[in-house]
């Protein structure tokens, strides 16, 4: 019985450890301002850290999120993601923020996922159709029409999207649970991979004609940023 109990204990400990390492590690100090000078820094769980004695208020602030992004793109949308690269004080804190601008009638933040973060979306202006799809085997779609003041959460690592279905520009703010959430846009990864994925793989996987796959692979795939 004691041996069984120990096995269960270590199994639970291993499971708990896997959950703990699936997210940004908790910082072990009050803050760690990002710095690129390795000679005057220490490495924690993010960028190199500036000596706390040299930190300034500017390290913890960012200006310009009030400025609309350039939506004159293929997707007619723009994502301005603020991470520790732009706001060094975010380093090791496990959060980041983005402003997303959409043109009317179809501006799109296409299906994508964040490998290191969950996301909460707040609509400030316009009308968005937003949703996410669950993982195998169900692939359930959870979607909703969002108006100003509405919130929608996208769970960790799931494919999600937002599209402006209104007649006016739309603006949203996204909060993410990582200082570096990463983003993988589904269509870009599949059809814009470098080097290209063998067309036979995509023809079978997506039930598409090979010529169509090759045509899609020859196109330019851009990100909404």
The response to whether 125 counts as a known ligand-binding position is: no
The response to whether 114 counts as a known ligand-binding position is: yes
The response to whether 109 counts as a known ligand-binding position is: yes
DSSP H helices in the chain: 2-20, 186-191, 199-206, 210-218
**The pLDDT of residue 13 is above 60:** no
Task: Give the torsion through C-alpha atoms of 153, 159, 165, 168, to 10 deg.
Answer: 70
All CATH 2.60.120.10 domain ranges of the chain, comma separated, are 24-182
CATH topology of domain 24-182: Jelly Rolls (2.60.120)
Tell me the pLDDT tens digit for each residue of 19-58. 444 455 555 456 777 777 766 665 555 678 889 999 999 9
Tell me the pLDDT tens digit for each residue of 106-155. 999 999 999 889 999 999 999 999 999 999 999 999 999 999 999 999 99
The response to whether 223 counts as a known ligand-binding position is: no
Distance of alpha carbon 70 from alpha carbon 103, whole angstroms: 10
């Amino acid at each position: 019985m004691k041996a069984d109990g120990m096995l269960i204990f270590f199994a639970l400990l291993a499971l708990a450890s896997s959950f703990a390492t699936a997210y940004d590690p908790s910082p072990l100090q009050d803050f760690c301002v990002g710095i690129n000078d390795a000679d005057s820094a220490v490495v924690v769980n993010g960028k190199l850290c500036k000596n706390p004695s040299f930190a300034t208020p500017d390290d913890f602030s960012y200006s310009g999120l009030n400025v609309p992004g350039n939506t004159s793109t293929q997707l007619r949308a723009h994502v301005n993601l603020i991470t520790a690269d732009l706001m060094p004080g975010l380093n090791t804190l496990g959060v980041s923020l983005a402003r997303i601008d959409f043109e009317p009638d179809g501006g799109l933040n296409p299906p994508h996922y964040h490998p290191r973060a969950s996301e909460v979306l707040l609509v400030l202006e316009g009308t968005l159709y937003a949703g996410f799809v669950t993982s195998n085997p169900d692939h359930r779609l959870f979607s909703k029409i969002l108006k100003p003041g509405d919130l929608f959460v996208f769970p960790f690592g799931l494919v999600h999207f937002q599209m402006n279905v209104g007649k006016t520009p739309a603006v949203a703010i996204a909060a993410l649970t990582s200082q570096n959430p990463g983003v993988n846009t589904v269509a870009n990864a599949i059809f814009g991979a470098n080097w290209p994925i063998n067309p036979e793989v995509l023809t079978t996987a997506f039930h598409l004609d090979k010529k169509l796959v090759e045509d899609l692979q020859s196109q330019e795939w851009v990100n909404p940023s």
